[in-house]
Structure 1
Amino acid sequence: MSDATAPAFTPLRSVLYMPASNAKAVEKAKTLPVDGVIFDLEDAVAPDAKPAAREAAAAAVASGAYGRRTLTIRVNGLGTAWHDDDVVAAAQAGPAGIVVPKVNNAGEVRRLVAAIEKAGAPDHTRLWAMVETPEAIFEVRDLAAADERLAVLVMGTNDLVKELYATHVPGRAPLQTALSLSVLAARAAGVAILDGVYNDVKDVDGFLAEAVQGAEMGFDGKTLVHPGQVAGANETFAPSAQAVEDARAVQAAWEAGDGSGVVTLNGKMIEALHVESARRTLSIHEAITALEAERG
């Protein structure tokens, strides 16, 4: 969830799509310093390979071989020939999340949650809804708040650009409204939200610029299409050393003032809202530090 003060907060700075039909990719994910993995059964898998990919994704999730990485399975969308079987297999494997493409409204969220529960998913398996159509943008506030089992919104920016007849451009001006509305909806509902992918895996500077933009807009992390993007996402969506130092100073000053409501630090007034932000920064930093220490 997006509330970083919650004990169960899990970093989602970098979430990498890996085609479940590619055995080497599934194996490689065990060694990458990525926060999360989406074993993909949808776009990256040919129709004749989908049944085998479904089995491979379920086996990977159930293997226990990925440490503290957040593991999810992206199923094929509602109405496709593979969707129902995908949901059953994913639910029974028990990943952290079942990622569903092109979720358009609150009714579809409730339908998906009912299917996940009917398939016997454990309580920790949550719904990750992809927001990638104009209808989803218009409905995103209700969609995000439709069911407590919905934990993450995932921006599908490639499909959204296609649906809008727009163009991929630096700065993403055609998507700014959709991105901002989706972040607002996620924060209002108390769920996490992940930015969309950056397609040009060789354009490091372009990727980093887009990652910074996403972090500044308030996204929790970014979905990725190549292992080479992991390090940049991890750094961009983590509090900087300066931010951590500043947060500690704010908290110390507030505690020294006994929460009097009127505290200054380096000539600047500190209010309760600044302390709340500082505590969130420190909580995120501590969770990332613990995760990376476990990885060695």
Structure 2
Amino acid sequence: MSQTDLSLCRSLLFLPASNERAVAKVRTLDADLIVLDLEDAVRGEDKAAARAAAEAACAEGFGGKPTAIRVNPVDSAHFGDDVVAVRRCACDYVVLAKAETPKQVHDAGWLIGKPVLAMIETPRAVIDAAAIAPVSRGLIAGVNDLSASLGIPPGSGRGGLSYALQRIVLAARAGGVAAFDGVYNKLEADEDLAAECAEGRAFGFDGKSVIHPSQIETVNRVFSPSGAELDEARRLIEAASGGAERHEGRMIEALHVDQARALVAKARR
């Protein structure tokens, strides 16, 4: 997968770069994008070891899968060392934690020399997401930090995040980049995960962040076109003859045909 195919990534698996066992295991998993974390998942005293481990892991590669490294925020004491280390890494992308301004994202990409995926984790970042998107290669919703900064009580669901999540998708689409939903905090794959994935896809996200291997299958499945969707899309394409017309009880026109063709093309790719 090249750097132009981020919209095809359904699952973004985040794991601590310092966890050698997890890094080895991830090579056997079906995540679409591997994100080696230098930020929240790594303790301060382990940051240097995590950088070295990330560099070694990227040098070995992940079987052709795209790889990113999440660096600490630009105002962090660790950011400078992250820049030096990640510049040397053979990763495809850098994920900038707590990105808040277009300048931060642009400068991080320039310093590190790699395209940036921006984590939208603060109210300011949500408000400025439309300006951040064009200087990034994608936006990732950081739902935990965003919930905390908004004062949303833990365990109260995602209702209070709806506006922010939709604004992130709108910004990404206006900027022509990919958009990824945030993590599901329970480690197991259950009905609630599937429902959250369905909600995220309905919002327009291309995929979702993952924090445990057990979640990958559900995320990949829900963010992929289903057999029923593909059958419907193919019937629509075959039936369309141009202009507005009736098809299976609804009105269709050129934009619906374009959507159907895009769905079929995505499934093929």
Quick check: TM above 0.5? yes
**Aligned equivalents of 1:253, 1:87: Cα separation in 2:** 54
The residue matched to 2:130 in structure 1 has which SS? helix
**Aligned equivalents of 1:51, 1:130: Cα separation in 2:** 22
The residue matched to 2:94 in structure 1 has which SS? strand
* Residue identity matched to 1:265: H
1:262 CA displacement = 4.1
5+ residue gaps, structure 1, are 288-296
Cross-structure match for 1:294: none
**Aligned equivalents of 2:111, 2:4: Cα separation in 1:** 28
Alignment deviations for residues 237-264 of structure 1 (CA, whole Å, 9 cap, x no partner): 000101111111222223xx3xx32444
Ranked by relative contact order (alpha carbons within 8 Å, sequence separation 6 or more), the top structure is 1
Cross-structure match for 2:98: 102
Cross-structure match for 1:221: 207
Asked if the contact 1:42–1:76 (Cα under 8 Å) also holds between the matched residues in 2, the reply is yes
Cross-structure match for 1:56: 53
The residue matched to 2:14 in structure 1 has which SS? strand
Alignment deviations for residues 87-134 of structure 1 (CA, whole Å, 9 cap, x no partner): 232232132210011111112122222212xxxx3xxx4101000001
Question: Which residue of 109, 112, 118 maps to 1:113?
Answer: 109
1:33 CA displacement = 1.1
The residue matched to 2:18 in structure 1 has which SS? coil
Asked if the contact 2:117–2:139 (Cα under 8 Å) also holds between the matched residues in 1, the reply is yes
Matches within 5 A, 1:116-265: 116=112, 121=113, 125-145=114-134, 147=135, 150-169=136-155, 171-202=157-188, 204-254=190-240, 257=241, 260-265=242-247
Question: Which residue of 60, 73, 79 maps to 1:77?
Answer: 73
**Aligned equivalents of 2:82, 2:122: Cα separation in 1:** 22
1:9 CA displacement = 5.7
Question: Which residue of 262, 281, 289 maps to 2:263?
Answer: 281
**Aligned equivalents of 1:35, 1:203: Cα separation in 2:** 17
Matches within 5 A, 1:261-272: 261-272=243-254
Backbone CA RMSD of aligned residues: 2.0
- TM-score normalised by the chain length of structure 1: 0.85
The residue matched to 1:42 in structure 2 has which SS? coil
How many residues in Structure 1 have an aligned counterpart in Structure 2?
268
* Residue identity matched to 1:141: A
**Aligned equivalents of 1:202, 1:252: Cα separation in 2:** 41
Matches within 5 A, 1:11-22: 11-22=8-19
The residue matched to 1:180 in structure 2 has which SS? helix
- TM-score normalised by the chain length of structure 2: 0.93
**Aligned equivalents of 1:70, 1:7: Cα separation in 2:** 11
Asked if the contact 2:94–2:117 (Cα under 8 Å) also holds between the matched residues in 1, the reply is yes
Identity value in percent: 40
1:8 CA displacement = 4.1
**Aligned equivalents of 2:16, 2:205: Cα separation in 1:** 24
Asked if the contact 1:170–1:206 (Cα under 8 Å) also holds between the matched residues in 2, the reply is no
**Aligned equivalents of 2:6, 2:165: Cα separation in 1:** 23
Question: Which residue of 60, 84, 89 maps to 2:85?
Answer: 89
